[in-house]
Each structure stands twice: as structure tokens, then as C-alpha cells.
Amino acid sequence: MGNDGGSIPRRNEMVKEKKKDEKADRKNQAIAQNYFCALSKLPLQEPVVGDELGRLYNRQAVLEYLLDRTVYGDGHSICDIQSLKDVKTLNLTPNPSKKSSSLGQPAAQFVCPITMKEMNGNSGFEFIWSCGCAFSAQARRELPDSATCIVCDQAFVDKDVVPINSIDTEVLDLLRERRLERRRDREEKRAKAKSKARNGKRKNEDGTDEKRADKPDLKSSKVQKTTA
Ligand SMILES: [Zn+2]
């Protein structure tokens, strides 16, 4: 039975093999992610949106998910989309060719508008969070001016660049950090706008006395004392 006369595989060799398999699995998964919506698992179909971790979804699926978080079963473990603010509608370039690759991989739905490389998971693609344009990482590297989008010319900053379907854990950690930062910024802006609106309302209600709410309300504290 087994290993007759052969050498017994050493533990570290087996671990190495397992790691190789896991890496190949992750790579295959990454390729599939460029063809299918991460939520509905249906083929990507425009309008396509990207989240802050670079995952792709059909916009329709995200809308359905926001209405009913159980519609795709494990939705909450796939994504952390709380509103449409957590996704960006992408400006993708449809692939003019429908030919499969020599390796039998189906033709990608989208290509890089600069290099015409297919978005099939074999090479890095990115999109810009501020404008939504998507292209190959190679196109951006080869063009000298990275301060404006190479498709729509809109200005962007480095942290707006979102690699699509990255499997690099360090990259994903960085993207999570940026997502947290954006959410914090949004929260701060909302709180500021709210307090501004409240102050404006107070001014309208009783002229110029903005600080009134900060002073103790004598009437109500008296009432409280007598009822206590
Ligand atoms: Zn753009």
C-alpha cells in the first residue's frame, strides 16, 4: 500500500505543494472575478460598479442587495456595501473581439482603452475612484502624467487608484484603510453639514441667539426638581 519503495514526502514538501495549490486557486478565482458579478455571480453587464476593494458588481445586483441583504445569501461576507456611496459606476471599454484566447479562456468583456489588453485577470487593471475610468496598470505606468486620468483627463490623487480584483493581501489591507478613511471623511462632512443646518435653523427661529441651547434651560430644570 502507498509509497512502496518510494520516498516518503517530507512534511515541508507537502506544505509547499498545498501552498502552490492555494495560490493557483486564488489566481483562478481572480480570473473568474473579472467575468462575473461578485454578488449575483452572473456575467458582468454594464452598468458595472466597483467597490473600494476593487471588486466588480452589476449595478442591478447591488441595488437588489441594498433592498434585501439576504437576496444573495452570503452577501454580507462578500462585500461591505452599505449604500451606493460605497461603489463607483465604472467607465469600462467593451472588448471589440469575442474570440477566446489560445488557452481556451473566454474573451473578456472589457479591454484597456489605451493598450487594448483584455481585462481577463491575467494582468493588472485599475480604476480611478474619483472618475470611475478603468484601464490596465501598464497603461498608467507608461504614461508620464499620472495626476490626471488617461481616459477623461480629470485630476486624481494616488490614493484614488483602486486595483481591480487584487489578491495581494497587503494591497487589500491598504484598500481597506483607504475605505475607512473615506467613510470617516464622509461622516465628518455629514456631521458638519448637520450642525450647520441646525445653527441656521436656530438663527431663523429666534433671531441672533445662537448659543441659547447651550445655556441650561431654567424652566425645564425647575419642573424636573418639583416633580422629583
Ligand atoms: Zn477618468
Other residues' Cβ atoms within 10 Å of the Cβ of residue 55: 21
Distance 1 CA to ligand 1 centre (A): 62
How many whole angstroms separate alpha carbon 220 and alpha carbon 176?
47
Distance 85 CA to ligand 1 centre (A): 18
pLDDT at 37: 95
* Helix (H), strand (E), coil (C) string for 73-124: CCHHHHCCCCCHHHEEECECEECCCCCCCCCCCCCCCEECCCCCCECCCCCC
pLDDT at 132: 97
Beta bridge partners of 223: none
pLDDT at 224: 45
Taking Cα atoms as reference points, which of 112, 166, 159, 160 lies closest to residue 139? 112
Question: pTM, whole model, 2 decimals?
Answer: 0.75
Q: pLDDT of the chain along its 228 residues, tens only?
A: 444 555 677 778 888 888 888 877 877 777 789 999 999 999 999 999 999 999 999 999 999 999 999 999 888 888 999 999 999 999 999 999 878 766 677 889 999 999 999 999 888 999 999 999 999 999 988 876 668 999 999 999 989 999 999 989 999 999 999 999 999 999 999 999 998 888 877 766 655 544 444 444 444 444 444 443
How many whole angstroms separate alpha carbon 47 and alpha carbon 59?
6
Q: How many Cα neighbours within 13 Å face the side chain of 99?
A: 4
pLDDT at 218: 43
How many whole angstroms separate alpha carbon 44 and alpha carbon 217?
59
pLDDT at 128: 96
Beta bridge partners of 94: 110
pLDDT at 102: 64
Q: And the C-alpha cell for 1?
A: 500500500
Beta bridge partners of 48: 58
Distance 125 CA to ligand 1 centre (A): 14
Distance 116 CA to ligand 1 centre (A): 16
Distance 84 CA to ligand 1 centre (A): 19
Distance 63 CA to ligand 1 centre (A): 24
Q: List alpha helices for the chain, DSSP H.
A: 11-33, 59-67, 75-78, 137-142, 169-205, 218-227
Cα 88 versus chain centre, distance = 8
How many whole angstroms separate alpha carbon 134 and alpha carbon 129?
9
